[in-house]
Each structure stands twice: as structure tokens, then as C-alpha cells.
Amino acid sequence: MSNERAEFSKRLAAAMVAQGYDPRPVVLSTQFNVRFNGASVTFTTASRWLNGNAIPEYEKLVALADWLKADPCFLLFGDRALRGGRATRQVREDAPVYDDHKVFGIYRTLPATQQKAVCEVIMAFAAAPSRRSRPTKPVVGAKLPRRKS
């Protein structure tokens, strides 16, 4: 069981408990299927999510988050989605201060496709190397890309 899946399952179970649901596969599959307009989730799939053997597809993750009143990025990534690594902390210190609750509230009102886009942008920024780590001078002997005439 991967650590990422195990951590997701813990956050999923905690979100269920926080909303007053017993974190059991039968409860998860039943309650999820009542609210999700797509393909039903089987008992086995719900069990895999809660036991740390699988992570749901994006559309199902968004539906879970909506049902459990949680942020889909938080369910998937935990505190790292909000805090990030060392490089992300540096960016946050330099960035203007925003009301996190207001920003997340606005985020939750966006359609699922826009939420996905926002998550992808945030993760791309978090994964991108900082400009400080790039060399400012060309490396001696390095070949420059050819320009097309």
C-alpha cells in the first residue's frame, strides 16, 4: 500500500467521521451513490478507498469532497496542498496575504472543471523549479538550440 493511498484513506475516513458517518465501505458506497450522477461505486471500490488500496478518479474525488464538505485537494494531498514544500513556503512569504477561508469558499463554488484547472495550476506552480535555481549564464560548451530560418 503506497503512503499516498494510505494517507488519502485516513483523510477520507476522518472526513466521514467529521460529517457523522461511520467510515465503513457499505456506508461510503451507499451514501456516495445517492449523490453521484455517474457510474455507481461498488462495495469493493469503497473498501479499496477506505483501506488505502486505491484513490478515486477526479470526478469521484470532487463528488466525495462535495458530499463530505471537504476540499478535494486536501483529501487528495493533505496539508501539502495547503502548505507545500520549502520552495512553496518561500513563495507564500513573498505573496500578498489572502483570506484562505474566503479563497477556498470561492473555490468550492466553482464548477468541477474549473476546480480541476485550479488544482492543476497550483500543483504546477508547486512542482516548478524556482527561478533562483536556474543558471543565469549559459554553460560554456553548451549547444544552443538552432533557429529556424
Model confidence over 29-87: pLDDT tens digits? Answer: 999 999 998 889 999 999 999 999 999 999 999 999 999 999 999 888 887 655 554 44
Which residues have CB under 8 Å from 28's CB, separation 6+? 12, 16, 21, 41, 46, 49, 50
- The answer as to whether 56 is a domain residue is yes
- The answer as to whether 96 is a domain residue is yes
pTM: 0.55
- The answer as to whether 138 is a domain residue is no
- The answer as to whether 147 is a domain residue is no
- pLDDT at position 106 is 83
Q: Which CATH number goes with the domain that contains 81?
A: 1.10.260.40
- The answer as to whether 143 is a domain residue is no
- The answer as to whether 140 is a domain residue is no
- The answer as to whether 106 is a domain residue is yes
- pLDDT at position 87 is 42
Which residues have CB under 8 Å from 40's CB, separation 6+? 29, 33
Q: What is the mean pLDDT of residues 8-18?
A: 93
Report the alpha-carbon distance of residue 33 to residue 123 in Å, rounded: 29
Range of the domain at 42: 3-128
- pLDDT at position 143 is 54
* Domains contained in the chain, number: 1
- The answer as to whether 141 is a domain residue is no
